[in-house]
């Protein structure tokens, strides 16, 4: 632990601790009514934490050469898991979408969470290799390797994860030298495609309409966002007190998952939301700082991609809870209930801590040259 960035590590552990309290508070009533055990979701989240924490430290302490050589394989493993959700007997369907894999013991896993955090790994592998990997088919092959799993995510009706992966990919391409002509061409193609993907699907179009005017259908499509905003508004400056929120009493849907921030806002108020956002902001800022300071191309791409992935997910969830973005089924990292999200978030920050450790233990390029020069002079003196 002493070899890791203590500030970032403490921030992540703090979010995990806040998340456990938040899951307990937001799910107790629902768990009592639906499962007969008020601690049902809390105990499961505690078990998820016991699995996720070792994964965090394993990702942080994995030898850097292994991350560089074999990290991209996580993308293929996640893509295979996403494809497996379409196989009968493996995929679990809920809410009209088949995004989960059935695991032994009755648990489920959402592989798209793993796919999101593995995109920076495969992009970093591409960015670090200046020589051609596939000859003349280099870029078409790379586009297929990245695009095919993204298409599977879209086929799962997981538009939120698809959007995050696409946004992070675009930002990474921009940061690593994508030409302005290609940027404008990509935006020109993406705008009508995004419009088609949203407006051609009835439930997505309904969410856009509910976002623009939730009061037009307050008992239907606008119900979630209205209840979320009411919960946040009723919290005021300091909130009603931990465990005293009313929105989670079956007024606010998905109170322990997608809309847990609204519960936090009602119980801890504006102050509680600001504290949570400051911790999130510190984590994103520290990740971007690590990316900016890294001299290694692979490490820079990895740190930037991981930071953007985390930042985009937090931004979208917070925007949805505050009525600033259309409703989307994305969890709030660490604070929402869910083993898939918690595991992916821990692996994400484990890799980020690994990048920081690698950069701290590797001297800057100028210092390396100076060391080699001094070593050469010592060898010459010995030879004399």
Average pLDDT by consecutive 10-residue portion of the chain (384 residues)? 85 96 94 92 95 96 93 94 87 74 81 94 84 56 87 90 93 84 82 86 87 87 90 92 87 89 95 96 97 92 96 96 90 94 96 93 61 58 62
- Distance (Å, whole) CA 215 – CA 213: 5
Structural domain contains residue 271: yes
Structural domain contains residue 235: yes
pLDDT at 130: 56
pLDDT at 182: 76
Structural domain contains residue 199: yes
How many domains are contained in the chain? 1
Structural domain contains residue 1: no
State which residues form the domain around 338.
6-383
pLDDT at 372: 46
pLDDT at 327: 87
pLDDT at 373: 55
- Distance (Å, whole) CA 39 – CA 22: 12
Structural domain contains residue 219: yes
Determine contact, residues 249/265, Cβ cutoff 8 Å.
no
pLDDT at 342: 96
The answer for residues whose C-beta is within 8 angstroms of residue 186's C-beta and 6 or more apart is 170, 178
Q: Dihedral angle at the C-alpha atoms of 110, 115, 117, 122, nearest 10 degrees?
A: 160
pLDDT at 136: 54
pTM of the model: 0.90
Determine contact, residues 210/222, Cβ cutoff 8 Å.
yes
């Amino acid at each position: 632990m002493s070899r890791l960035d203590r500030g970032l590590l403490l921030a992540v552990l703090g979010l995990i601790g806040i998340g456990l309290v938040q899951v307990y508070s937001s799910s107790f009533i629902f768990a009592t009514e639906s499962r007969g055990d008020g601690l049902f979701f809390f105990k499961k989240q505690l078990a998820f934490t016991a699995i996720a924490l070792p994964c965090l430290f394993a990702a942080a302490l994995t030898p850097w050469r292994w991350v560089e050589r074999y990290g991209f394989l996580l993308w293929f493993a996640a893509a295979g898991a996403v494809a497996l959700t379409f196989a009968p007997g493996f995929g679990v369907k809920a809410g009209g979408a088949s995004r989960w894999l059935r695991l032994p013991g009755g648990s489920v896993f959402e592989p798209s969470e793993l796919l999101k955090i593995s995109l920076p790994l495969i992009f970093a592998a591409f960015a670090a290799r200046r020589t051609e990997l596939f000859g003349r088919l280099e870029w078409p092959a790379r586009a297929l390797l990245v695009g095919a799993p993204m298409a599977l995510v879209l086929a799962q009706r997981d538009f939120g994860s698809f959007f995050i992966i696409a946004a992070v990919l675009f930002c990474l391409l921009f940061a690593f030298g994508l030409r302005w002509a290609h940027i404008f061409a990509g935006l020109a193609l993406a705008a009508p495609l995004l419009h088609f993907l949203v407006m051609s699907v009835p439930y997505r179009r309904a969410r856009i309409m509910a976002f623009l005017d939730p009061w037009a259908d307050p008992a239907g499509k606008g119900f979630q966002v209205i209840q979320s905003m009411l919960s946040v508004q009723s919290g005021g400056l300091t909130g009603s007190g931990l465990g005293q929120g009313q929105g989670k009493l079956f007024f606010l849907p998905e109170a322990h998952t997608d809309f847990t921030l609204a519960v936090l806002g009602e119980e801890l108020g504006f102050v509680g939301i600001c504290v949570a956002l400051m911790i999130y902001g510190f984590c994103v800022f520290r990740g971007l700082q690590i990316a900016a300071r890294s001299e290694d191309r692979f490490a820079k791409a990895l740190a930037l991609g991981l930071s953007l992935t985390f930042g985009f997910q937090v931004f979208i969830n917070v925007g949805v809870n505050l009525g600033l973005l259309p409703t989307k089924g994305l969890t709030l990292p660490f604070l929402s209930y869910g083993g898939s999200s918690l595991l992916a978030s821990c692996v994400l920050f484990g890799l980020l801590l690994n990048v920081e450790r690698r950069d701290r233990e590797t001297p800057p390029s100028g210092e390396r040259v100076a060391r080699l020069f001094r070593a050469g002079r010592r060898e010459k003196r010995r030879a004399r």
